[in-house]
Amino acid sequence: MLQETAFTNVEAEKKTVTGADLLIEALKKEKVEVIFGYPGGAVLPIYDKIYDCGILHVLPRHEQGGIHAAEGYARISGNAGVVIATSGPGATNVVTGLADAMMDSLPLVVFTGQVATGVIGTDAFQEADILGITTPITKHNCQVRNIEDIPRIIKEAFHIATTGRPGPVLIDFPKDIAAGLVEQPAEAEIDLPGYQPTIEPNYLQIRKLTEAVSGAKKPVILAGAGILFSKGSELLLEYAEQQNIPVVHTLLGLGGFPADHPLFMGLGGMHGCYTANMALSECDLLVNIGARFDDRLTGNLKHFAPKATVAHIDIDPAEIGKNVPTAIPVVGDAKVALSMLVKQNGKPPENSEWIQTLNEWKKENPYWYEDSNSPLKPQRVTEMLYEKTNGEGIVVTDVGQHQMWAAQYYPFKNPDRFVTSGGLGTMGFGLPAAIGAQIADPSATVVAILGDAGFQMSTQELAVIRELNLPIKIAIFNNRSLGMVRQWQQIFYEERYSHSLIPSQPSFVKLADAYGIKAYEITSESEAEKVLAEVMNDNEPVLLDFRVAENENVYPMIAPGKGLHEMVGVKK
Amino acid sequence: MKRIITLTVLNRPGVLNRITNLFSKRNYNIESISVGETEQEGVSRITCVVNVDNDRIIEQITKQLNKQIDVLKVADISDQAVVARELALIKVQSTPQNRNEIYSLIEPFRASVIDVGKDSLIIQITGESEKIEAFIELIKPYGIKELARTGTTAFPRSSQRSTQKTNYSIV
Ligand SMILES: Cc1ncc(C[n+]2csc(CCOP(=O)(O)OP(=O)(O)O)c2C)c(N)n1
C-alpha cells in the first residue's frame, strides 16, 4: 500500500502534455505575436489550446486571406508570419499564398491539420496530400510523425523560414498527433546538417568586385529585395555614396534606397522609368545586389545589359548565373557583403560623364500623364496619397495597373514600406496583406491601393478590418475593368476586350457600409482633395472608391519579347 | 550530354519526392535515378543520370538540389574518374538449340544466368550503361521477353588522374 502511493506521486510529478500544448509552447518560444488561422475538424485539438493561449489570433474570412495577411505581416515585421488551416480544403486554400511567399521570399510558418495517422492514405474525410501539393512551393515541408519531435520541428521551421533566403515552411499536423499525450520532452535542438546558408562572402570575390568598380566607366547597382531582408539599406546608401554609383531598384526592392537621392535612377523593368532601363542597357558594370533577374525586370535576356560585366551578390547561390551569365559571383548576405565593400574603400570609378548622362535622361524623361480634374487620373490619386502621408505610409497593393502606378508615383523614402505581390502577381493579395501590415506596425498609416477586380477577390476581409478596427485607408482605383488585361488587349489584341470590362459592379460604398466601414465615392480631383483631407488622419478604416479614368494605360511599357531599351510611351 | 550527379541525403520522409519534384519543376531531363542506404545510418545516397544541353543547366541542377534542406551533399562527378555500375535483368527466349549460343555471348560480358526455364533464361548483367546497352543489342535478336534495369549508381575512384576528362572503367 505504502509503496503504491509513492509510485503514484512520482507519476504525478512527470508532466504530461498534448501535441497541441507543445505547439503553443513552441510558438511562444519563438515570440509569435499573432496567428492567422481558421479552425476546422482536424485542428480542433489545436484550437482548444489557442482558446486561452494569450497569443493574438486573427480569423480571416477565407484561409487565402489569412495567409496573405501573414505575408503582409512578415514583409513589414521581418518576423515569420504564422498561419493555421485545417486539413483538406483549409490546407488547399493556402496554396496560392505559399506559392506567392515562395516567389517573393517571405518567411512563413504554416500549420495544416491532417487526418489522423491511422487513416492517412485512405481518402478519409477532408484528407489532402498537402505535402505532395506544396513540395514545389515551399522552402521546406514535413509532417509530424512523433509527438516528441514537435518542439524540434517547429524550432527548425522558424529557423529555415527566417534565415538564408527566407521562404515558407509548412508543417502538417495529424489530428492524433495534436491530441496525443506525451511526457514533457527535453529542450529542442536544431538538427539540420544539410542547411547552412553562406552569410559571409568570399573575400577574394569582394576584392574582385572592388577592382571592377574602380575600373568601370558606367557602373550601376541593381538593388532587389535582398537589401530589405538583410536590413542593408543604410549600407547600400553608404556604399553608393562612397563609390558614387547610381542605383536602380527592382519592384520588390523599392524603398531600399531613398527615392529622393540624386543617385537614385528609379524603378527598372517592364513599367520602369526611362533612366533606369537605359542605365541597365548602357552600363559597363552591373552590380546586382539581392535581385533575381526576374523576366519582368530584364525584358528579353538577349538585349539585357549587353555591354556589362555582371556582378551578383545573393544569399541564394542558385540565383547567380540562373538567368544572366555572371562574371563576379558573390554568395552571401547583402548587408555583410556591403559592409565588406565599404571597408575596402576602393578608388571610386571615373564616371562623371555617365552620371551626367543619367541626370540628363532623368530630367528629360520623367513619368508623365495628362492630368484632369474629371475624369480623375489614377496617377494623380497616387500622388495625392503620397502627399497626404508625407511619403511615409505603408503602401500595400494588389496586382494590375494600380500596382504599377503605386510603384511609379509613390517614391518611397524608407525601406519596408511597400507590400506587393511581385513574383506570382497574385490578385486578391492586397486587402488581406494590408491587414497583416497594419498589425505589424500599428502606428503606421497603411494605404491599400487596389483595383476594383482584385478587391473583389478578397472583399470578405473587410470584416476583419472592422472587427479589429484597423485604420487602413482602402483606395480602390475603380476603372470598371481588369485594367491591366484591358491594356494588353488594347495594345496587342486589336482592342478586342475579351472579358476584361466589368459593366456591372456592386456599390462599393454600400458594401463597405454593410461591413460597418465608412466609405466615399470620389469622381473628381477636387472631391479627392476634400475627402482625403478629412479622412487620412482618422484612426478609423475607410474605403475610398476612386472612379478613375477607364481607359488610362501604364507607361512606359516594354512589350513582351522586347529589350529594356525598347520602351514605348516614354513621352507624351 | 550525360552527367552523373550523386547526392547524400537525410533519409527523411518526402526527401525523394522533393528531389524528383525539383527535376520536373525545373524541366530537367532525368535519365535514371537510383536510391539506397549508405554506411551511415539515416543517410541515403542517390545517383542521378541527367541529360543536359550545357554546363549552365548542370550548375543550376546541382545548386537547386543543394538548396533542399535534407540534402547533405551534391556532386557532379561526371568529370572525375568514376566507377559507375548498373544492373539489368533480362528474360530472353531460349530453346535447347540456341542455349549454348546465348551462353557464348554471356561469357565475354561476365554476365550470368540466374534462372533457366523451359523456353527462357534470366540473365543478370552488371556494368556501365554502355556495356549493358551493347549486351542488350546483342541479345535482342533472340527475343527479349522482359527487361528491368536499376539505373546507374556511381562513386569517384580513390585515385584521380589530374588531367583526365572522360573515363571508362575496366569492366
Ligand atoms: C489571381 C489572378 N488572376 C488573374 C490575374 C491576371 N491579371 C493580372 S492584372 C489583372 C487585372 C486586374 O484588374 P484590377 O484588379 O481591376 O486592377 P487594375 O489593373 O484595373 O488596376 C488580371 C486579371 C492575376 N494576376 N491574378
* pLDDT for position A415: 98
Closest CA to ligand 1's atom 8: A400
Contacts A198 to B, Cβ<8 Å? none
* pLDDT for position A45: 98
Contacts A141 to B, Cβ<8 Å? 14
**Same domain membership, residue A326 and residue A230:** yes
User: Do residue A131 and residue B14 have CB atoms under 8 angstroms apart?
Assistant: yes
In Å, how far is B80's CA from the nearest CA of chain A?
23
Cell of A565: 531599351
User: Do residue A136 and residue B63 have CB atoms under 8 angstroms apart?
Assistant: no
**Same domain membership, residue A389 and residue A340:** no
Nearest-by-CA chain B residue for A321: B56
**Same domain membership, residue A383 and residue A356:** no
Closest CA to ligand 1's atom 20: A483
Q: Region B132-143: what's the mean pLDDT?
A: 96
ipTM value for the complex: 0.90
- Confidence check: pLDDT of B162 > 70: no
Is residue B68 less than 8 Å (CB to CB) from chain A? yes
Cβ–Cβ pairs < 8 A, chains A and B: 44
In Å, how far is B159's CA from the nearest CA of chain A?
27
**Whole-angstrom Cα distance, residue B3 to residue B14?**
24
User: Do residue B63 and residue A317 have CB atoms under 8 angstroms apart?
Assistant: yes
**Same domain membership, residue A504 and residue A428:** yes
pLDDT in tens, chain A (572 residues): 445 555 555 555 667 999 999 999 999 999 999 999 999 999 999 999 999 999 999 999 999 999 999 999 999 999 999 999 999 999 999 999 999 999 999 999 999 999 999 999 999 999 999 999 999 999 999 999 999 999 999 999 999 999 999 999 999 999 999 999 999 999 999 999 999 999 999 999 999 999 999 999 999 999 999 999 999 999 999 999 999 999 999 999 999 999 999 999 999 999 999 999 999 999 999 999 999 999 999 999 999 999 999 999 999 999 999 999 999 999 999 999 999 999 999 999 999 999 999 999 999 999 999 999 899 999 999 999 999 999 999 999 999 999 999 999 999 999 999 999 999 999 999 999 999 999 999 999 999 999 999 999 999 999 999 999 999 999 999 999 999 999 999 999 999 999 999 989 999 999 999 999 999 999 999 999 999 999 999 999 999 999 999 999 999 999 999 999 999 999 98
**Same domain membership, residue A346 and residue A396:** no
Strands in B2-10's sheet, in edge-to-edge order, are B29-37, B43-51, B2-10, B71-76
In Å, how far is B65's CA from the nearest CA of chain A?
9
**Same domain membership, residue A226 and residue A360:** yes
**Same domain membership, residue A387 and residue A348:** no
Predicted confidence (pLDDT) per residue in B38-87, tens digit: 999 999 999 999 999 988 899 999 999 999 999 999 999 999 999 999 99
Contact by Cβ (8 Å): A67, A110: yes
Specify the DSSP element, H or E, that contains A132.
helix A130-134
**Cα-based distances in Å from A74 to A68, A416, A419, A468, B56:** 10, 10, 10, 19, 34
Contact by Cβ (8 Å): A144, A113: no
Which residue has 490619386 as its cell numbers?
A: A381
Backbone torsion region of residue A560, taken as left when φ is above 0, otherwise alpha when ψ lies between -120 and 50, otherwise beta = beta
Query: Which residues are CB-contacts of A119 (< 8 A; sequence separation ≥ 6)?
Result: A127
Cell of A281: 542597357
Domain count of chain A? 3
* pLDDT for position A13: 61
Question: Which CATH number covers residue A215?
Answer: 3.40.50.1220
Backbone torsion region of residue A215, taken as left when φ is above 0, otherwise alpha when ψ lies between -120 and 50, otherwise beta = alpha
Query: Last residue of a domain, which of A364, A388, A410?
Result: A364
In Å, how far is B72's CA from the nearest CA of chain A?
4
Nearest-by-CA chain A residue for B70: A194
* pLDDT for position B163: 53
Whether A370 maps to a domain, the answer reads no
**Whole-angstrom Cα distance, residue A238 to residue A243?**
9
Candidate from B25, B64, B71 with C-beta closest to A318:
B64
**Same domain membership, residue A141 and residue A278:** no
Q: Region B15-30: what's the mean pLDDT?
A: 90
User: Do residue B13 and residue A143 have CB atoms under 8 angstroms apart?
Assistant: yes
User: Start-end ranges of CATH 3.30.70.260 in chain B?
Assistant: 2-79
Is residue B22 less than 8 Å (CB to CB) from chain A? yes
* pLDDT for position A12: 53
Specify the DSSP element, H or E, that contains A547.
strand A542-547
**Same domain membership, residue A315 and residue A397:** no
**Same domain membership, residue A207 and residue A168:** no
**Same domain membership, residue A473 and residue A326:** no
* pLDDT for position B171: 42
Strands (DSSP E) contained in A62-204 are 81-85, 108-114, 140-143, 168-174, 181-183
Residue B51 DSSP SS3? strand
B2-79: CATH topology is: Alpha-Beta Plaits (3.30.70)
* pLDDT for position A15: 79
Give the distance (Å) from ligand 1 centre to CA of residue A446: 21
DSSP one-letter string for A160-200? HHHSSS--EEEEEEEHHHHH-EEE-PPPP----TT-----S
Q: Is A479 in the pocket of ligand 1 (CB under 6 A)?
A: yes
Whether A556 maps to a domain, the answer reads no
Whether A189 maps to a domain, the answer reads no
Helices (H), strands (E): how many in chain B?
4, 9
Q: Which CATH superfamily, name and number, covers B83-153?
A: ACT-like. Chain A, domain 2 (3.30.70.1150)
Question: Which CATH number covers residue A396?
Answer: 3.40.50.970
Which residue has 460597418 as its cell numbers?
A: A516
Domain encompassing residue A442: 378-547
Query: Last residue of a domain, which of A364, A388, A422?
Result: A364
Contact by Cβ (8 Å): B112, B124: yes
* pLDDT for position A482: 98
User: Start-end ranges of CATH 3.30.70.1150 in chain B?
Assistant: 83-153
Q: How many of the other CB atoms lie within 10 Å of CB of A260?
A: 9
Contacts A136 to B, Cβ<8 Å? 21-22, 25
Q: Is A400 in the pocket of ligand 1 (CB under 6 A)?
A: yes
Candidate from B56, B63, B69 with C-beta closest to A140:
B69
Whether A437 maps to a domain, the answer reads yes
* pLDDT for position B168: 44
Backbone torsion region of residue B43, taken as left when φ is above 0, otherwise alpha when ψ lies between -120 and 50, otherwise beta = beta
**Same domain membership, residue A385 and residue A534:** yes
User: Catalytic residues of A, which ones?
Assistant: 63, 125-126, 175, 484
